[in-house]
Structure 1
Amino acid sequence: MKIRTGGPQDVAAVLRMFDSAVAWLSAQGRTGQWGSEPFTGDPKRTAQVEGWAESDGMRIAEIDGSPAGCVTVGPPNAYVPAAPVPELYVQALVIDQAFAGHKVGRALLDWSLEEAVRRGAQVLRVDCYAGDDERLVGYYESCGFTREAPFAVGQWPGMILQRSLSALR
């Protein structure tokens, strides 16, 4: 697996990653996280991915030259209060379901941890969907994150999680 800097040339591939994740979640009846409609063709979603692609925080994981996952890091998302200490925030993490089971998400989170240390952050934070059975919260906990605080955006339940970087210095 190779992790490289992402950019505008990756927008279509990242939208396809989200499409595969939405289709996978929908097939399980789990539409609360991202809905049931593809991201491709949605102007709002496209603009969001284009914004990430223009930042210096987008990374693409590739397996055998194919885009397998994407992470974007930077300041916290607008609906989340900033941490009281220097932080780096995982703004988005998505995996193409064709590469499920290849530990792409963990590799991208490991890169995020290393990047947070390089940037002098004290914590790496992320938020995720906390509805249904909280499986996604459990995934982040299995990656070493701890629950910080629940929140909601309208009816969408979320959880902020953090990982202290003190042991990594």
Structure 2
Amino acid sequence: MTISIRDGGPEDVPAILGMLDSAVAWLVAQGRTGQWGSTPWSENPKAVAMVQRYVEEGSPFLAEIDGVPVGTLTLTEAPGSYVEAVDEPERYVHLLASDRRFKGYGVGSALLAHAAEATRAAGISLLRVDCYAGDDRKLVAYYEANGFTATEAFVVGPDDWPGQVLARRL
């Protein structure tokens, strides 16, 4: 199966929310609710508004297999407010998710490679992302396997959600 990646837009918000919902269901089935809780993104008005904002302000990409959306990420020029900005141009990965029915197909890695290439093509040499760093740090290890290096850890929110910022020099 060939993964193709295309630019996304506001019309893709329902598909993006569907992939995020799929990821939540997958995490819940594993008993891993620390990352994103147990409520589907599409049922959380704050989450829906965040997805819409990133899609409107950033550069969303959708991975497809045979024309079916199977993964997504959005690039912006800065991190969320909970992560300190850096003193150089950067691109920041937000909302990386894939339809869990396609787990193991390399969808996330293809999207991260595309994000790196889009960042490089823009003449920018720093790509960053943050992720959930709780439990067994599997997600941190995933980004490290995709060329990122852990930089600073952080906690956010009333529940002290553990996060990790990672960077990749291009």
Calculate the TM-score normalised by the size of structure 2. Answer: 0.93
Separation (CA, whole Å) in 2 of partners of 1:42 and 1:77 = 18
Shift of 1:85: 2.4
Residue of structure 2 equivalent to 1:19: 21
- The answer to whether 1:150 aligns with 2:153 is yes
Aligned partners of 1:34 and 1:15: how far apart in 2? 13
What residue in structure 2 maps to residue 87 of structure 1?
90
Query: Taking structure 1 as the reference length, what is the TM-score of the superposition?
Result: 0.94
Tell me the alpha carbon deviations over residues 97-134 of structure 1, each in whole angstroms, 9 at most, x when there is no partner.
01111100001000110111122212110000000000
Match of 1:32 in 2: 34
Runs of 4 or more off by more than 4 Å in structure 1?
Answer: none
Match of residue 79, structure 2, among 76, 81, 85: 76
SS of the counterpart of 1:114?
helix
Specify the SS of the correspondent of 1:40.
Answer: helix
| Cα offsets for 1:62-114 (capped at 9, x unmatched) | 11111100110112111111122221111221111011111000010001101
Matched residues, number: 165
State the identity %.
53
> 2:169 & 2:50 partners in 1: Cα distance?
28
1:7 is the counterpart of 2:12: no
Unaligned runs of 5+ in 1: none
* Residue of structure 2 in register with 1:164 after alignment: 169
Unaligned runs of 5+ in 2: none
Separation in 2, partners of 1:133, 1:112: 26
